[in-house]
Structure 1
Amino acid sequence: MSIRAQDVVPISEARARLTELSDEVVGGAEKLLTKNGAAYVALIDARKLDYYHALEAEHASLLLLAEADVALRELAAGERVSSDTLMQALTDR
């Protein structure tokens, strides 16, 4: 969803209109609050925030699975290092 000009609200104005802005957000809008003319925080529906967090967790899980897949393929291809070499590489950091 793109932010429309009417969805950009100075934080000083948002203080006085919080209930109204919250109702608009629950109705599907997203509000970008500005401070000194620059983006500062956003108001989004709490359910949408929960969804974003779930997506973030899913993405992290997919990245871990992809890394595990690469490691298993390398192991199956005989591309492995000894535990001594691994420990040495880890301590050199």
Structure 2
Amino acid sequence: MNKDPRHYDIIVSPIITEKATLASENNQVVFKVRRNATKPQIKAAVEKLFDVKVTAVNTLLRKGKNKVFRGVRGVQQDVKKAVVTLADGHRIDVTTGL
């Protein structure tokens, strides 16, 4: 399988949180993805990069927050997350690099 460089642009990074770790027990992996990425693009990228079978992709868009750091006001960017459900028998180890 040949890996297209555009797939690396779609998936920004894995999200490793307590909630994402609990989801991994149900064959789900959470990724931070590009904001304009579509579900079919995310599915194709995960299948090609990790050589797994994806059954479902759910996305959510977390709006950026207003924050104050050392007296300086700023706005965090919007973040799009993708919860990818894998077929039975397929696994992704997000602790290793790609």
* TM-score of Structure 1 vs Structure 2, range by shorter chain: under 0.3
TM-score normalised to the size of structure 1?
0.25
TM-score (norm 2): 0.24
Q: Which has the higher contact order (CA 8 A, sep 6+)?
A: 2
Larger-gyration structure (1/2): 1
Q: More strand per residue: 1 or 2?
A: 2
